[in-house]
Structure 1
Amino acid sequence: MRTLPSSLLYSRDEELTSRFIRVASSITAIQQLEEQTELEQWFQQFGDTVLLADLRAPNCLDVLSMLRRERPTTIIIVIGTDRSDPMLAAELLEPFARTSFEPERRALQALLKQAIECQMLRQKTRILEEELTKLNARKSEQRPQPRSFFSAPLQNFSKAQRNFDNVDALFESVVEGLVATARVSRAGIFIQPDPQADYIFQAGTRCLAATEQLSIHPHDAFIRWLEMNTHLVSRKTLENIADPQERAMLKQMLDSLGGEIIIPIYAAGRIKGWIFVGQRSTGIPFEVADLEDLTGLADHISTTLEKAFQYEETALQKALAETVLHSIPFGIVACDEKATIRWFNSSAREILKPEETDIIGRRVETLGSRIADLFRRTIGNQTAHDVTEWTDNRTKLTVSAETRCLTDNAGCVGAMMMLRDITGAKLLQEKEEQLERASFWNELASSMSHEIRNPLVAIKTFSQMLPERYEDPDFRAEFSKEVNHEVDRLNQIVDKINEFANPPKPAFQPVDIRKPIEHAVTRIQNELDHDNLKIHLSADDSSLMVYGAPTSLEEGVYHLLKNAAENLANKPGSRVNVTVKGRSPDKQTGSIYLIITDNGSGIDESIRDKVFSPFSTIKARGLGLGLPIAKRAVIDHNGQIDIDTSSGGTTITILFPALEDEV
């Protein structure tokens, strides 16, 4: 990134300033100054530059005359009306060039380029002249032996480490310690707040106002020089720098800071900033030994600030983590390996409502015997404990707790408990269960009344006709047959409900799953005896052993096949395929798949999502208990059941764990 050279515009005309800055934006960075005192201070601090002088500015001719005497290398471009008295007077001072208030754009840009090049040449010439003067002086100079006037001991600087947890206060302490240690009249510190930000003034003593407003870009030549050379900059040692341009750049930086020495600060392997100091309070120049002492002091300052930055980052992360933990909607309590509470967030306080105000540092028994027991069992077993729920007698809240053991390489270092207030959820669950139970009994009553009403209607009809047709032997025979049939239907309905509500306890044993499936297929074929229905059973040659109850398995498969056959309704071409697949021979563990596929019209969309719910059916006769019984059989055997249905048929896939998995 290229840094543009700076130029000054001495004018109070805002419109003129805006126009010149816009035209020169790609050539130079123009800074406007409106007062003579500001202009003089700028030249004193930053040295010669290119000056555009508006002849209408206050005392402009006097300012130009002063610069002509004291700053002969300054490039001056006067701005005014051609052949006017001020312009004629300014020409007597022999400026570099002159221009009007509204110059042509290209002409002004070319003029500024020439002025900047001329200024750079004058600076190089001045540097060479200074070098020649120093070289001649060095030949005749007899150097005295260096003496150190660095009187304040280094341990005096230790007071800078106070306020270590406050970086801003630490900057002030560093400056104070530096002034006391080095006995200087001026000191300041520049820091880069963020890796991509500019270096800005942070703290200082008796620093210039312009210095406090100064900001240095990370790509500035001064920063690159510090990164390459990694040592302090002193006016006394500038002559040791070989490159004249680098020497001039460093001298200009010392002038802008009003300092004699610049000490770089390193943190995390990069330039974090620098400290600068002015002359000694006694006016005695710094010697080489003093610079060596300041180098050691700089290392001490860099170490202190680097630790402070690390502390600040750690404290920020800790504060952020605590804010997050306090904001989460469930409680967290943590204790050490001795069951002493070390952390307790706001949600945990709202849930447990402890009687003690200060919980940290107390034993876990402070939170109650139940929580203490969970913590101590977790620490003792060094394992996690499942979710535990209870209702607190004091707060009347229903609490859910789950514990985890905290470990490191040395073993258990404590335990953590996550708490949730589930009072509202429990009340909602109880209400939902009440509604579900009410809905269950409503559906049961509706289905039973529908099923029971049909036989009762038939019995009532025959009973009403009996007095009139009692003498008819055929009617009495039909009456006896139909009444017995309808009573049997009523008994079947009662038996089905009892069977669903009180299923027999399954007796589990190792069983080849093919046998109960074959029994179910034979049973459904004999029971329905549909001429158009074809049931095809196939099984592979792998091991099909499961740990299950043969009767329960047969009953579940029977209801699935019965449901499929009834939906097909003996239509021509009706077909049900029953496929049993086991694991491959090379695998010792796995699952067994039972797949039942029919070519019917699929499950009606109105009950598709609740086919396994009791009493869910679209049949004119039936309670809709077949599929719920089948699903219960699958769940009893730790299996899974899925249904895929469309207008082209329905496929039921059941997954059973193989015998080795269960064992």
Structure 2
Amino acid sequence: MNLRLLILVIMCLTEVAFVLWVYLKGQRSIIKWLFTAFVLSVALWTLGNYLVYTYVNIFLGYLTFAAATWIALSFLLFSKVFPEGKFPSLKQDKLTSSFILLGVLFTILSFTSTIVKSASLSPEGILQSQYGPAHPWFGIYFLASISYALGLLAYKWRRSKGLNRVQIQFIFLGVLFSASGATTTNLLIPLFFHTSRYSVYGPYFGVILIGFIAHAIVRYRFMNIRLVIRKGTVVALSALLAAGVVLTLLYLLSYSGHFRFPTPTYIFFGIGILAAAFLIVPLRSAIQTLLDRYFYRSHYDYYHTIEEASRKLSSFLDLDLLLDYILRAVQRAMAIEWAAVYLATDEGYRLEQAVQALEPHRLPSELPDPLTGSLRKQQDVLVREEIRRFRSDPKVLDTMEEIGCEMAVPLVVQKQLVGAFLLGPKRSGDAYFSEDISLLTALSGQAAVAIHNAQLYRKMRWMKEYSESILKNMQGGVVTVDADQKIVVFNPAAERLTGRPAKEVLGKPLSVIDKGIAEPLREALEEGKVYTHREGMLNDHTPPVPIIFSTSLLHDPSGRHGAVMVFSDLSYVRRLEQERSLAERMVLVGTMAAELAHEIKNPLVSIRTFAELLPERHEDPEFRRYFQEVALKELDRINALIAQLSETARPPSFQKEPINLREVLEYTLMLVEERAKKSGVHIVRNYEPDLPQVIGEATRMRQLLLNLLYNALEAMPEGGTLTVSAARGDGTWDGYVEVRIRDTGKGVPKDKLDRVFEPFFSTKEGGMGLGLTICRRIVRDFKGDLQLKNNPDGRGVTACVRLPILAREEVIGAIGTDPHRTS
């Protein structure tokens, strides 16, 4: 047999075996169907070329042209559906429909004499074909189909990204190169030069096509095919290479004509076999290395990898850098497609980081519940192949298959699942072996501790920054000392309050700072004595600065302790208190002066009246006697009021006593009841049962309530309703009794409501404007609150008095009597 024809047979068988292997791998799809049809058409065309040269039969020529038609048509349809997998609608795609109809037509014409009429061999063994009238049209159809298909692939290549783009690129190049060569030898040369001399070489270009497709499968998972290269494959390739060497030598020997069968054949056959035997071991090793590198097979030193990882893991404190190193180290060592790490959060296990070798792999943002439960329960590696083989957990298997995960490795610290590694398939297609699982198990233990430490470091750093921010922005000074009484914290506020920069005192003993700070801290360290809201002085200032401070002990696990002091400047508070006291005194003096003026006016009127009558009735002894009595009495009254002014220049003190508020209310209502009846005012009472007692002074309490009741009655000269209620307060006023006095009068204008408590301000004609001022002063003396608001319905106002409730123990301590005593 001619060696060239033998090669054609080998190529045909190789193409058939290749396409059957591709067809049987993975899931069936229209892409795989059309690809199979395309490669089988190439194999049939290759076989047809061999048979035509061997048997010189015109039917075989017909079959060869039919196969060429199918090559063009199947490749065009394949280009239409790849990589989307969707077949176009023939009703809408008229051009594709036309190519299909022409393909059917030329298939029929291939079995007639319209394309090829006859075929024969010349004495030199060269094929001589006589072509029919349709041969040029067949050539145009073939070139148009291939060109249109390549144009489609080029268009899709420009619009694609990632893995699809690379796959289209290699299919395009494989078909372009192989079709260019085969079209030249088997179509263009016969068409223009009317010779089939070079047709035998056309099928050889199929090697280029198979090479590009195989490369796309191996490197870029063309049609999602994963290729697993095992040791037997390496040995077979080595044997084929050795056989190729032997065949080449035999061909060269036969071609030289110096040797004839059978002797030379056996000699060189023996030499070839010996050469193959000597070459098989080094060839196997070399090919194994090249294939491992080409097919992403990795070999790693187990102990060296563990040692290097241990050294590196202990050097990382930043969590992000640590996770990146771990994932990339695992990916490099095992040549996996992707790796991801999930870490525990309050809500679950969140995707923290991932590395990917090829196109981005979509991973869930949270670790799926089946994986979480299984890892937490077993705390052992989950391998998808083992789960599938033993059918141990269908839910876990479905979850791993859904996200494309081959292995899940738990991260456990103190028997708690703190995270997990998810690993994708190896790029070589190999399974994870026991050595891989052992390495990952060892790495996961160290990685878990390192990740846990990095998380603690991140939290500690965050807490440190948080604490420093608080200390920096605090208005109060903070000073902390350790167990050796050395200053370790001295915040900016402490610098400002003491006048000492931190760099002068940090690391120094307590004696270098003000005694007002040093002594409380020393007492805390030596005696365990702590203070809360204690007043003190900073004596290094002139004049000394009053402060309020608190101290506390700080303990560490070793039993040693430090102390901290927080202090604030009281100077501003003291100034405010003095200014408030002065303001209150001034208001009080003004109020008392107005009260006295009000009270003195009436006696002076009486004296003036008698003085005006004196000239007329001077001789009347009875008048003179009566005038003397009235004048002296009124002057005594004025003198008493002046004495009161001199004695009450500050808010008067009073003796604390428990007050039964219900009794005081009833007493004051009794005093105003007659006046209310005359004015046509109806009084409504609304008391809460079991009203608690309040603290106060009975006389001033009556004065307060009488003033408020008289104001309410004066606001209703034509009658109305006076509602008096008393109940416990709630919310902000919990711990108080609220007394509400509500009238239905004309109310107070909104623009004047805020001024009703000002001295000498009155909304009544001829009023002195002192009543509510005095009422507010009394309430404040009782540590209560007084508010006046217009009613929501617009009729009248409500005066709300809030008086503090005192506990039984406080009342007994204050007055030394039974708190149930009434006034």
TM-score range for the pair, normalised by the shorter chain length:
0.5 to 0.7
Check conservation: 1:451, 1:493, Cα contact below 8 A. Answer: no
Change (3 A) 1:239 1:510: closer
Matched letter for residue 322 of structure 1 = S
**Residue 163 of structure 1 aligns with which residue?**
315
Written as runs of structure 1 = structure 2, the 5 A alignment for 1:257-336 is 266=411, 269-272=418-421, 294=439, 297-299=442-444, 301-331=446-476, 332-335=478-481
Check conservation: 2:679, 2:719, Cα contact below 8 A. Answer: yes
- Equivalent residue of 1:599, what SS? coil
Matched letter for residue 801 of structure 2 = I
Matched letter for residue 20 of structure 1 = K
Check conservation: 2:789, 2:797, Cα contact below 8 A. Answer: yes
- Equivalent residue of 1:51, what SS? helix
User: Can you list the C-alpha shifts for 1:459-479, whole angstroms capped at 9, x where unaligned?
Assistant: 99999x97xx9854599999x
- Bigger proportion of residues as strand: 1
Out of 458, 483, 494, the residue aligned to residue 348 of structure 1 is: 494
Out of 1, 6, 20, the residue aligned to residue 156 of structure 2 is: 20
Out of 507, 517, 527, the residue aligned to residue 371 of structure 1 is: 517
- Equivalent residue of 1:385, what SS? coil
Check conservation: 2:722, 2:744, Cα contact below 8 A. Answer: yes
Change (3 A) 1:363 1:508: same
Change (3 A) 1:338 1:631: farther
Q: Deviation at 1:370?
A: 1.8
- Equivalent residue of 1:617, what SS? coil
Written as runs of structure 1 = structure 2, the 5 A alignment for 1:183-262 is 195-196=350-351, 199-200=354-355, 217-218=362-363
Check conservation: 1:513, 1:545, Cα contact below 8 A. Answer: yes
Check conservation: 1:547, 1:662, Cα contact below 8 A. Answer: no
Out of 700, 712, 719, the residue aligned to residue 564 of structure 1 is: 712
Out of 649, 655, 665, the residue aligned to residue 507 of structure 1 is: 655
- Equivalent residue of 1:200, what SS? strand
Pick which of 163-172 and 341-350 moved more: 163-172
Unpaired segments of 5 or more residues in structure 2? 1-30, 32-81, 84-150, 183-190, 192-200, 210-216, 238-299, 344-349, 391-396, 428-432, 812-823
CA distance, structure 2, for counterparts of residue 399 and residue 16 of structure 1: 89
Out of 755, 779, 798, the residue aligned to residue 634 of structure 1 is: 779
CA distance, structure 2, for counterparts of residue 525 and residue 474 of structure 1: 45
Matched letter for residue 156 of structure 2 = F
CA distance, structure 1, for counterparts of residue 440 and residue 381 of structure 2: 8
Unpaired segments of 5 or more residues in structure 1? 8-14, 33-48, 69-82, 84-88, 98-114, 138-147, 202-210, 254-261, 279-287, 584-588
Q: Deviation at 1:274?
A: 7.5
Q: Deviation at 1:445?
A: 11
CA distance, structure 2, for counterparts of residue 64 and residue 454 of structure 1: 127
Give the TM-score normalised by the residue count of structure 2: 0.46
Change (3 A) 1:362 1:173: farther
**Residue 652 of structure 1 aligns with which residue?**
799
Out of 692, 700, 705, the residue aligned to residue 552 of structure 1 is: 700
Change (3 A) 1:269 1:534: closer
User: RMSD over aligned Cα, in angstroms?
Assistant: 7.0
Q: Deviation at 1:551?
A: 1.9
User: Can you list the C-alpha shifts for 1:285-337, whole angstroms capped at 9, x where unaligned?
Assistant: xxx99768745652454245324432442344234423432443424444568
- Greater relative contact order (Cα < 8 A, sep 6+): 1
Q: Deviation at 1:573?
A: 1.9
Written as runs of structure 1 = structure 2, the 5 A alignment for 1:387-466 is 388=535, 393-394=540-541, 401-403=548-550, 405=552, 416-420=564-568, 429=576, 440=587
- Bigger proportion of residues as helix: 2
1:573 paired with 2:691, answer: no
Matched letter for residue 302 of structure 1 = A
Check conservation: 1:159, 1:177, Cα contact below 8 A. Answer: no
Change (3 A) 1:270 1:513: closer
Pick which of 184-193 and 304-313 moved more: 184-193
Change (3 A) 1:31 1:154: closer
- Equivalent residue of 2:503, what SS? coil
Change (3 A) 1:24 1:50: closer
Change (3 A) 1:346 1:594: closer
CA distance, structure 2, for counterparts of residue 348 and residue 654 of structure 1: 43
Check conservation: 2:545, 2:570, Cα contact below 8 A. Answer: yes
**Residue 756 of structure 2 aligns with which residue?**
611
Change (3 A) 1:344 1:272: farther
Matched letter for residue 660 of structure 1 = R
Check conservation: 1:174, 1:301, Cα contact below 8 A. Answer: no
CA distance, structure 1, for counterparts of residue 746 and residue 324 of structure 2: 85
CA distance, structure 1, for counterparts of residue 308 and residue 615 of structure 2: 132
Check conservation: 1:264, 1:298, Cα contact below 8 A. Answer: no
Check conservation: 1:199, 1:217, Cα contact below 8 A. Answer: no
CA distance, structure 1, for counterparts of residue 691 and residue 584 of structure 2: 43
Change (3 A) 1:175 1:502: closer
Check conservation: 2:530, 2:553, Cα contact below 8 A. Answer: no
The count of aligned residue pairs is 531
CA distance, structure 2, for counterparts of residue 61 and residue 582 of structure 1: 96
Q: Which has the larger radius of gyration?
A: 2
Pick which of 572-581 and 551-560 moved more: 572-581
Check conservation: 1:266, 1:273, Cα contact below 8 A. Answer: no
User: Can you list the C-alpha shifts for 1:479-503, whole angstroms capped at 9, x where unaligned?
Assistant: x799999979976975775686455
CA distance, structure 2, for counterparts of residue 292 and residue 590 of structure 1: 69
Check conservation: 1:641, 1:652, Cα contact below 8 A. Answer: yes
Out of 724, 738, 746, the residue aligned to residue 601 of structure 1 is: 746
Change (3 A) 1:501 1:359: same
